[in-house]
Structure 1
């Protein structure tokens, strides 16, 4: 039974979530709104598509949307202009947008390698670089300051066969986060930075990845892979995106005011094995 939400403990805060139309990103947007925050979300989809327009209508007036590619400096400038014009502040930045890349390293193209790095790593860097000045100016509004949450993965902590590109990208996010956390602390900037390390979560990205394995003949159907990963996870199941959103909420709120440069692992016990 899910805990009742809506404490309004993020009232007065402005949050930005990249990759916010689906999966963990959308769950974070929904949780932030339930807790009283105003939220700007970005994704690749045009705002007038059927899915995007229906989702935005459901989220309500406290949410706004900017179509943006996180690997583009120009698009990040567009997002900054939208946030500044609408809110003038930013207290929470969730760099969530990401893609995966699977297959043997000898068969991985340079184009594929560069694409995953551009989104999973460059996208995080550009998001942070773009919003540090505004977050530094906004951070004094609340105890613990502004909060950056960079979504890494358990694949940023441990290796797995045939996901070398994804491993590398998520490992980069982990150490980038630690570096900026120290930089902000040393400069007495009111910004904390932590990384989130989800295990296997039932998201559209995971399902698409499993389907690619099915297409390669690894399994007869995607559900077989869900069942396999569930059996290998100590807690016995995959995560719901809302469970990751709860962890992000903790990192975004003043409850984590003494936490910076840390890594929050939410993986059902996978990395404890």
Structure 2
């Protein structure tokens, strides 16, 4: 699919981050876009940005409230898509929505662990199940599933538990790689790509907290603060002097750093993804850090979870750590 003009695309998680930028860049090329998110406010902001970009006349952009971990909500989204976009065909499916959380299989609540897994993996699986019939109706199609560098390196470092997100992203990667052969045999007009971003400047930290707790960093409940304090303690840091306000400030700073100090912006990431789709690449690494991490893990998989490996990785990919 060398161009997107006149095509129909679905983007999950279109309210912020890479989903927002994918929707903007697709619409700018004259692609009709239907996005879903759990926040109507965020999607309205995306639509306003698209309108400022002045897409080609006749380009349809629609918004739909849907939690991608809930199949019934995705099925409602598909029905709305057919009605509002006036089509029974879909050319591009970007299963992009994701959240963090549920880091420890031992210490974190089962509900949080499964919420993260069900959004990050279930949203991809259910997205494909829900929209595949419309892609079968099209003359050509492309499924684009967002995994992560945590889909080939299941860690944030030796002091941080990271099981739910990493397990989900490994599942996305394996599923998409298997789809390459499956589609070649059963629906050769549809391609599949797995996207593995490194550190991209998005609001996933704040969005994840909002999804999990319904609050922003400065509104954390007493229970949320104590859980955050326990996690900091498990990282080997002294929490005795940390007040509740200090915990809130750390949460806000974590969001700011992740968004503003990333080596790759969401807009840059979206362009890399769309260029990869046009080139029919099934494996799309996003960011120089992702490429270098991939090289390091492949070269020394046995030691990939040792502290010395992490120190080398941090130095070579240029990530900034700290409070």
- Mark yes or no: TM-score above 0.5: yes
DSSP 3-state at the match of 2:63: strand
* Cα distance in structure 2, aligned partners of 1:247 and 1:148: 15
Map of 2:145 onto structure 1: 150
Gaps of 5+ in 1: 1-7, 231-235
Task: Check the 8 A contact 1:226/1:238 in 2, yes or no.
Answer: no
Larger Rg: 2
Map of 1:97 onto structure 2: 97
Cα pair distance change 1:9/1:238, threshold 3 Å? same
* Cα distance in structure 1, aligned partners of 2:72 and 2:262: 40
Q: 2:9 aligns with which of 15, 22, 32?
A: 15
Q: 1:264 aligns with which of 275, 284, 308?
A: 284
Query: How far does the alpha carbon of each residue in 1:113-158 deviate from its partner, in whole angstroms, 9 at most, with x for none?
Result: 21112111111111101111211211x2xxxx31010001000110
1:109-258 aligned at under 5 Å gives the runs 109-138=109-138, 140=139, 145-160=140-155, 161-206=160-205, 216=229, 217=232, 221=250, 238-253=263-278, 255-256=279-280
Q: Does 1 or 2 have the higher relative contact order (CA < 8 Å, sep 6+)?
A: 1
Aligned residue-pair number = 248
Gaps of 5+ in 2: 52-58, 210-216, 218-223, 238-246, 297-323
* Cα distance in structure 1, aligned partners of 2:254 and 2:137: 49
Cα pair distance change 1:37/1:158, threshold 3 Å? same
DSSP 3-state at the match of 2:201: coil
Query: How far does the alpha carbon of each residue in 1:213-238 deviate from its partner, in whole angstroms, 9 at most, with x for none?
Result: 9x5457974657977999xxxxx952
Following superposition, the deviation at residue 208 of structure 1 comes to 5.9
* Cα distance in structure 1, aligned partners of 2:72 and 2:174: 25
Map of 1:4 onto structure 2: none
Following superposition, the deviation at residue 52 of structure 1 comes to 3.7
Q: TM-score, normalised by structure 1?
A: 0.80
DSSP 3-state at the match of 1:155: helix
Instruction: Pick which of 59-68 and 219-228 moved more.
Output: 219-228
Cα pair distance change 1:207/1:69, threshold 3 Å? closer
Q: TM-score, normalised by structure 2?
A: 0.68
- Alpha-carbon RMSD across the aligned residues, in angstroms, is 3.0
DSSP 3-state at the match of 2:34: strand
Q: 2:50 aligns with which of 59, 65, 81?
A: 59
* Cα distance in structure 1, aligned partners of 2:110 and 2:174: 23
Map of 2:300 onto structure 1: none
Residue 66 (structure 2) pairs with residue 72 (structure 1): no
Q: Which has the higher helix share?
A: 2
Task: Check the 8 A contact 1:149/1:251 in 2, yes or no.
Answer: no
Task: Check the 8 A contact 2:102/2:113 in 1, yes or no.
Answer: no
Residue 106 (structure 2) pairs with residue 106 (structure 1): yes
